[in-house]
């Protein structure tokens, strides 16, 4: 199984009723990669993420996780596969009525047999990993936007997932907070060995942390390019990919 890509997408078509969003998407995500889904606004980046985590069903095509057919899996098998996923939503999606500790403890209480003291220890550890030690009893309204993002990342890691799915993690953050979050994502990937799938249109993040990326082309409604974005911006055969990756006059250094 070591040679099998962590996630495989084959001939995937995404649609809302009769409207095709993207068609014939085929790509692999290697184990341990930071893999970026990029493209302009409205191209279907978040829609693809929802397909990858099973929130939407494809109009055609299949998705495989660890070589198993996720799309055609029984409800029981799909639930077992989903236990290996962690998701950070664009808005953070923390429960505002719960403290940070209670937010992160929620999946642990729901899906593990751990005792309360064990859960408390894990919650403190997860918050410390994202630089929020000591903020266990704070509520989302009492911390900054960057801290909300980090707390949401800690919750996504609560069950030690194999794959982290992050939807626009740096959206709405200032450049300094965004870069700190990028650095944190790389550190977590290296220390935990997780595969990270990120939806973003932020060039600084794309160039700084992506090992591999796909570009969703709104004109052709299919895959416009796949590869390391630092190479694609120089040598992609698709002019729309080069335009997207070179849209800022200032070069970004990884």
Domains of the chain: 33-45+85-245 (3.40.50.300)
Q: Evaluate if pTM is beyond 0.85.
A: yes
Given this model, what pLDDT does residue 250 score? 46
Given this model, what pLDDT does residue 45 score? 92
Sheet hosting strand 222-227, strand order edge to edge:
85-88, 163-167, 195-199, 34-38, 212-217, 222-227
Category of 167 on φ-ψ map: left (φ > 0), alpha (ψ -120 to 50) or beta: beta
Alpha-carbon gap, residue 80 to 245, rounded angstroms: 38
Given this model, what pLDDT does residue 180 score? 85
- Least Cα distance to 148 among 170, 129, 165, 163 occurs for 170
- Yes or no: say if 238 and 215 are a contact pair by the CB < 8 Å rule: yes
Given this model, what pLDDT does residue 254 score? 43
Alpha-carbon gap, residue 208 to 203, rounded angstroms: 8
Given this model, what pLDDT does residue 249 score? 45
Angle (nearest 5°) at CA 143 between 142 and 145 = 130
Chain centre distance of CA 194: 11
Residues of the chain predicted below pLDDT 50:
1-2, 249-254
- Yes or no: say if 71 and 58 are a contact pair by the CB < 8 Å rule: yes
Angle (nearest 5°) at CA 191 between 182 and 134 = 70
Angle (nearest 5°) at CA 67 between 66 and 71 = 95
- Least Cα distance to 150 among 188, 102, 198 occurs for 188
Given this model, what pLDDT does residue 3 score? 60
| Burial of residue 55, with CB atoms counted within 10 A of its CB: 0-12 exposed, 13-18 middle, 19 or more buried | exposed
Tell me the HSE value of 213 on the side-chain side, using a 13 A CA sphere: 32
Given this model, what pLDDT does residue 2 score? 46
């Amino acid at each position: 199984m070591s040679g099998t890509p962590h996630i495989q997408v084959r001939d995937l078509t995404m649609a809302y009723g009769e409207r095709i969003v993207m068609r014939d998407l085929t790509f692999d995500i290697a184990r341990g990669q930071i893999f970026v889904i990029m493209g302009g606004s409205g191209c279907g980046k978040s829609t693809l993420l929802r397909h990858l985590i099973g929130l939407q069903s494809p109009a055609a095509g299949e998705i495989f996780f660890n070589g198993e057919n996720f799309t055609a899996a029984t409800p029981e098998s799909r639930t077992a596969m989903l236990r290996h996923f962690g998701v950070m939503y664009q808005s953070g999606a923390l429960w505002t009525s719960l403290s940070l500790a209670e937010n992160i403890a929620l999946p642990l209480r729901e899906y593990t047999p751990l005792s309360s003291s064990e859960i408390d220890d894990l919650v403190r550890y997860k918050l410390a990993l994202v630089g929020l030690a000591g903020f266990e009893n704070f509520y989302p309204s009492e911390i900054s936007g960057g801290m909300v993002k980090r707390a949401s990342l800690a919750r996504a890691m609560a069950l030690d997932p194999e794959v982290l799915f992050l939807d626009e993690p740096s959206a709405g953050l200032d450049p300094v907070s965004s870069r700190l979050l990028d650095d944190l994502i790389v550190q977590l990937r290296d220390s935990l060995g997780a595969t990270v799938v990120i939806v973003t249109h932020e060039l600084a993040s794309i160039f700084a942390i992506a090992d591999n990326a796909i570009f969703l082309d709104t004109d052709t409604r299919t895959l416009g390019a796949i590869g390391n974005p630092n190479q694609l911006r120089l040598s992609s055969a698709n002019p729309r990919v080069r335009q997207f990756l070179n849209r800022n006059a200032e070069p970004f250094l990884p």
